[in-house]
């Protein structure tokens, strides 16, 4: 499996298919395998690159100098440099959208189209920021997600009313239980502080080309509700799509719908590019 050394830390990524490149950014607490349905479909016509966040999947520890989503964007830019990719599309969900937007703003000639899913570029609202920081403090002290915290965290990623014993929630719960204390303390917790302590970049989104941006959000997303997506769409002036029957990890809860929308969007962007 391919790795890239960044400042002495191994960044793992998947690289499938050929064609115009698509860079996928996954959610916090997940990894690049979250994109399995989209990788399978899109790699038939595109080169699909899906890195693991630091401390997630097979990537190494979070580099000490990583303090903002902008820093994550810079690291992904270096990944593209190493792969010789001058132009690409970016599809980012949650924190993947945060660094994806930063990458598009910093390198508009490189990011030819941008899809932001279940994400928000404004500052984290105070109430949820305090709540998430308290959760992170608990994880750091204990070196694990205790059962009561799992009961609170897991449902945040799925649509309201989803069966907590269903395959997706149970697999996610087991993944959280599988994090080592070292990974949690050295990477996952500090990365959570980067995400939830992010600066407000909402107004900066007005610099994006609305013809090259698509916003998507699960209709039952709890941490990033559709109202936030609508707010960003208004700033950018771009198209938005609500994913029916889906929460925060909309690309898995309604994989067929999301994959079809992405395939059509990427085709349209390629036609416009040529």
Q: Are 98 and 76 in contact (CB under 8 A)?
A: no
What mean pLDDT value characterizes the chain? 97
Query: Does the pLDDT value for residue 105 go beyond 90?
Result: yes
- Predicted pLDDT of residue 269: 85
Nearest to 216 by CA among 229, 227, 207, 228: 229
High-pLDDT (> 70) share of the chain, %? 99
CB 128 within 8 A of CB 135: no
Q: What is the pLDDT of residues 44-73, one digit of tens each?
A: 999 999 999 999 999 999 999 999 999 999
Return left, alpha or beta for 197; rule: phi > 0 is left, psi -120 to 50 is alpha, else beta.
alpha
pLDDT of 78 higher than 90: yes
Q: For residues 201-209, give the mean pLDDT.
A: 97
The answer to whether 239 touches 114, Cβ cutoff 8 Å, is no
CB 260 within 8 A of CB 251: no
Fold of 3-122+200-273: Rossmann fold (3.40.50)
Question: What is the rounded average pLDDT of the residues 126-149?
Answer: 98
Question: What pLDDT shows up at residue 1?
Answer: 65
- Indicate the pLDDT class of residue 152, thresholds 50, 70 and 90: very high
Look at residue 52 in the predicted model and tell me its pLDDT: 98
């Amino acid at each position: 499996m391919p790795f890239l050394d960044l400042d002495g830390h191994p960044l793992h990524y998947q690289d499938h298919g050929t064609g115009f490149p698509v860079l996928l950014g996954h959610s916090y607490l997940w990894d690049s395998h979250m994109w399995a349905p989209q990788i399978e479909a899109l790699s038939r016509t595109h080169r699909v690159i899906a890195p693991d966040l630091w401390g997630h999947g097979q990537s190494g520890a979070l580099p000490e100098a990583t303090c903002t989503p902008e820093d994550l964007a810079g690291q992904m830019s270096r990944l593209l440099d190493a792969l010789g990719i001058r132009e690409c599309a970016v599809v980012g969900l949650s924190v993947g959208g945060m660094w994806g937007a930063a990458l598009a703003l910093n390198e508009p000639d490189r990011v030819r189209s941008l899809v932001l899913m279940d994400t928000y570029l404004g500052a984290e609202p105070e109430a949820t920021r305090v709540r998430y920081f308290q959760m992170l403090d608990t994880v750091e002290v204990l070196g694990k997600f205790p059962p009561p915290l799992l009961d609170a965290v897991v449902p945040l990623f799925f649509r309201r009313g989803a069966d907590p014993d269903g395959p997706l929630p149970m697999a996610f719960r087991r993944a959280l239980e599988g994090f080592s204390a070292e990974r949690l303390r050295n990477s996952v917790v500090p990365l959570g502080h980067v995400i939830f302590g992010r600066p407000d970049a909402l107004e900066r989104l007005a610099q994006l080309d609305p013809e090259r941006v698509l916003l998507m959000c699960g209709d039952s997303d709890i941490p990033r509700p559709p109202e936030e997506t609508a707010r960003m769409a208004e700033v950018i002036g771009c198209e938005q799509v609500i994913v029916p029957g889906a929460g925060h990890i909309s690309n898995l809860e309604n994989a067929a719908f999301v994959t079809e929308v992405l395939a059509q969007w990427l085709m349209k962007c390629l036609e416009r590019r040529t």
